[in-house]
Amino acid sequence: MRMLKGKLLPVLAWFLMITSTTVVASSRRGVSYAPPKLKPLTGLLPHLTFSHGFKEFFGGSHIQIVDNGTSVNLILDKSSGAGFVSQNSYKYGFFSAAIKVPSGYTSGVVIAFYMSNAEMFPHAHDEIDIELLGHQKRREWILQTNIYGNGSVHTGREEKFRLWFDPTQQFHQYSIIWNHNHTVFLVDNVPIREVIYRETTFSCYPLKPMSVYCTIWDGSEWATRGGKYPVNYNYAPFVTNLRDMEMAGCSWDSKTGEPVCANNGGGASSLDPVGGEDFVKLSEEQKLGMQELRKRFMIYSYCKDKNRYKVLPPECRA
């Protein structure tokens, strides 16, 4: 019996190791996770064509407008990346796009759907970011969120997540709610992060009007540990596809310096992205879905980065 036990233990240990590895790998691929079915916010507001909402930011021919302007391809190759920007600036609202990212080896490729006023306030700008980062090893994509006001990238508040799906195979919706109550980042209508506006605990909340951007660019130096895994242009062109773009809220009138709010900016309608009940507060179902997703898939939070912050920001200690 002792001899048999001696033979069985290594086999049992090997089996447990393989089983454990398989479970972890399945979790990484998102096989074991089904996101909650929550009330969708995307689709409640009109989809915009390129000509009715956006204009070129950079890239020229690297921007391809297709399907009568309802879809846009952004291309990165050795000569250039590409990007477009909203025709208007906004002071609060709901902003969303369905995005499909390039497959294959994408280290250093960065696709960003974000809000910024860096051109107006180059030294003290506001920013709200959703960034998809090509990965150098497992050929997966990492999702990063960031938010700050009156600062720069050095004062950002980053969080990173693994994805529970393959973003190269089909379109997924990436959305931002930004109003005077909170900023919420959503993926396929599931909140992944909420930043509540409290001046005493989140002093860097973005408050100035911002434009909406979508870009693809070479982020080798920034996204791959100082260029350790740079973009390999042997795999170019890298093409990201966007559609179902939504922007609604208070556009900014630069002549009067005042917001122009559609959809009853005072919040009379539940569909108002500035004051409507579906946008100013998360439901209990949304909160539970967010907590579960963060528990499973968040891999970095600035609030836990003691190497970066000797004294954690006040909101991390609230």
Q: Which residues are catalytic?
A: 127, 131
**Sheet order of strands, 159-162 included:** 54-58, 82-86, 211-218, 109-116, 125-134, 141-151, 159-162, 298-301
CA quadruple 121, 122, 126, 131: dihedral sign:
positive
Cβ neighbour number for residue 216 with a 10 Å cutoff: 28
With beta carbons less than 8 A apart as the criterion, state whether 149 and 62 touch: no
Euclidean distance between CA atoms 318 and 315, whole angstroms: 5
Length reported for the chain: 318
Q: How far is CA 310 from CA 304, 305, 315, in A?
A: 11, 9, 14
Cβ neighbour number for residue 118 with a 10 Å cutoff: 16
Euclidean distance between CA atoms 244 and 295, whole angstroms: 29
Enumerate helices (H) and strands (E) in the chain, giving the number of each.
6, 16
DSSP for residue 238: E
CA proximity to 160, closest of 178, 146, 177: 146
Residue with tokens 């709610």: 177
CA proximity to 243, closest of 80, 74, 55, 61: 74
User: Which segments of 12-119 are extended strands (E)?
Assistant: 54-58, 63-66, 71-76, 82-86, 90-100, 109-116
